[in-house]
Amino acid sequence: MVKKLMILVFCFTLIAGFLPQGNSIAASGTISISSVVNIREGPGLSYPLVKQANIGEKYTIIKEQGDWIEIKLSTGQSGWVANWVVSNVNNDTRIPTNKTSVGVVNVPSLNVRTSPSTASSSVGKLSKGMTVTILGSQNNWTQIQFNGQAAWVSSQYLENQNIPQKSNNATSSNSGTIGTVTAGSLSIRSGASLNSAIVGSVHKGQRFSLLRKKNEWIKIEYEPNRYGWVAGWYMDVSTPNASSGPIAKASNVTIVNNGTNIRKGPNVQSDVLLRAKKGDTFAVKKEENDWYAIKLPNGSIGYIAGWLVSNNGTSPSINKKGAGSYLRDKTIVLDPGHGGVDNGTTGASGTLEKNLTIRTARLLYNKLKTSGANVILTRNSDTYISLPERVSIARFYQADAFVSLHYDANGNRSVRGVTGYYYHSYQKTLAEYLYSSTISQTKLRDRGVRFGDYHVIRENSQNAALMELGYLSNPEEEMTLNSDQFQENAATGLYNGLARYFKDN
């Protein structure tokens, strides 16, 4: 009797599985492909690829297994497709799941474009292994979220995946899950394995939001727009739980950006004692104006600006006062000159302009982000970006300001100093603000603000300026430009120039 009852229950379950309710596929037993996807030999992303299916193709269902559907192919063979990328053929609605559709880039460099065509402008590039949120698809193109905007990439270079909203295996950066590095120095790799290339490193005590988890590996954003994988067994993972009661308060602050200055006194004119890393935590001794007095590892006291840290303790929260508040919600495109095969100028001692411009841009990026600006880098690695592409990025994001960063050269090695450039009359004011503030901060020779016939400002319909931040051809100035102190001063000067510009205009 028990055996017969079990058979009846099994049959009822099997029939119910094909009724049009819940997450089940309708009784027609047919699905329609809703984006360009891979059909595989088995129910998982690790199985070999059988073929690529195109939008609108229809297949007969053989069976379901977890999140995967076995389908009948035209060759008479079978294949497997993920259920989050197909639709029910009867009502053409996407099968309900608790998943967010994402794509993983499977080529070394992938152009991101304004529309689904190779003729459209490029607004950036993605690197192999990076994940993107998929918004939709059209023909052989996939619409993704890129720097807060909708953009397009070629579907053939994306590997579709899914991230469960609540899962132990994959975590969204919005989930509140935080990982703290427990190793003294932890390598960041391009993929989720020890065989993957090392792309960077993080240090003990640094804290990161967890983007994804794959086996025992965790994906993090270790620098602005730079992603990689770290070994999960060297991360102390914690998820805040509202039901567990309030988190115990402690009087400490956490650094939010790499290279943050800790100074001798509570002002930006004081000497720098050390530069802290993102995630470093310090005990607060007292508050002084808009600064925190903090205890350093050697027991001495240093000062850090309250607007450069996050506060998880009893000390009052500090917001930056003054002109910096005018940067909030402004869209600023930073354009580090040259890159990739284009080295730019080469200094007297071999300094490559392309390396120095990205260094300055990253420092400025961190300062602007801290003030609440929406900041976009035309490049964040040693990548070649054409001049029209750089201008297209400014247009695509409707930038409030576009700042192109360069270092100069001259056959006369005695020439030195900073120069600001504009092309259109409406760009002159921005160039003047950037220039005067940078000169004031760096104390380099004053070469003035001039008309300049440069593509990135000439063809730019947005408010744009080009800054030449010193001469690499001058051996003495080259040494200055390479110093941490100059780089910090240059970034601060440009930051102050932008803040004052938006305050007054």
Q: How confident is the model over 8-63, as pLDDT tens digits?
A: 444 444 433 333 333 333 334 777 775 557 788 887 655 677 887 776 788 888 88
Predicted local confidence at residue 165, as pLDDT: 37
How far apart, in whole angstroms, are the C-alpha atoms of residue 83 and residue 303?
Answer: 54
Count of H helices and E strands in the chain?
7, 35
- Mean residue pLDDT across the chain: 76
A 10 A CB-CB count for 72 gives: 15
CA dihedral 237, 240, 241, 242 (to 10 degrees): 180
DSSP-assigned states of every residue in 434-473: HHHHHHHHH---EEEEEE---HHHHT--S-EEEEEEEETT
Dihedral over Cα of 106, 111, 112, 118: its sign:
negative
Please give the C-alpha separations between residue 351 and each of 471, 473, 484, in angstroms, as whole numbers. Answer: 11, 9, 14
Backbone angles phi, psi at 452, to 5 degrees: -140, 130
Q: Is residue 199 within 8 Å of residue 212, measured between CB atoms? A: no
DSSP-assigned states of every residue in 190-245: SSSSTTSPEEEEEETT-EEE--EEETTEEEEEEETTEEEEEEGGGEEEE---GGG-
What is Dmax (Cα atoms) for the chain? 101
Instruction: Say if residue 247's pLDDT is above 60.
Output: no
CA dihedral 346, 393, 399, 456 (to 10 degrees): 40
Encoded amino acid at 458, one letter? R
Please give the C-alpha separations between residue 241 and each of 175, 209, 449, 452, in angstroms, as whole numbers. Answer: 11, 15, 55, 56
Mean pLDDT of 285-303: 80
**Which ranges of 311-415 does DSSP label H, i.e. alpha helix?**
353-370, 387-396
How far apart, in whole angstroms, are the C-alpha atoms of residue 446 and residue 194?
Answer: 51
Residue 253: alpha-carbon gap to chain centroid: 24
Lowest mean pLDDT among 245-259, 285-299, 340-354, 398-412: 245-259
CATH code of the domain made up of 100-164: 2.30.30.40
Lowest mean pLDDT among 72-76, 414-418, 436-440: 72-76
How far apart, in whole angstroms, are the C-alpha atoms of residue 307 and residue 253?
Answer: 11
Per domain, the residue ranges of the chain are 2-96, 100-164, 178-243, 252-318, 325-504
Q: Which superfamily does 2-96 belong to?
A: SH3 Domains (2.30.30.40)
Dihedral over Cα of 72, 74, 77, 79: its sign:
negative
Predicted local confidence at residue 362, as pLDDT: 93
Q: Which CATH class is domain 252-318?
A: mainly beta
339-363 residue pLDDT tens: 999 999 999 999 999 999 999 999 9
Domains 2-96 and 325-504 share a fold: no
Mean pLDDT of 241-251: 35
How far apart, in whole angstroms, are the C-alpha atoms of residue 468 and residue 486?
Answer: 14
Q: Is residue 330 within 8 Å of residue 374, measured between CB atoms? A: yes
How far apart, in whole angstroms, are the C-alpha atoms of residue 85 and residue 35?
Answer: 6
Q: Is residue 35 within 8 Å of residue 154, measured between CB atoms? A: no
Mean pLDDT of 139-166: 69
Please give the C-alpha separations between residue 163 and each of 105, 211, 233, in angstroms, as whole numbers. Answer: 15, 10, 21
Please give the C-alpha separations between residue 62 and each of 26, 29, 68, 80, 97, in angstroms, as whole numbers. Answer: 13, 8, 11, 10, 20
Report field, pTM of the whole predicted structure over 0.85: no
Q: Which CATH class is domain 325-504?
A: alpha beta
Q: How far apart are the first and last CA of the chain?
A: 85
Fold of 178-243: SH3 type barrels. (2.30.30)
Continuous segment of H or E residues that includes residue 291: strand 291-295
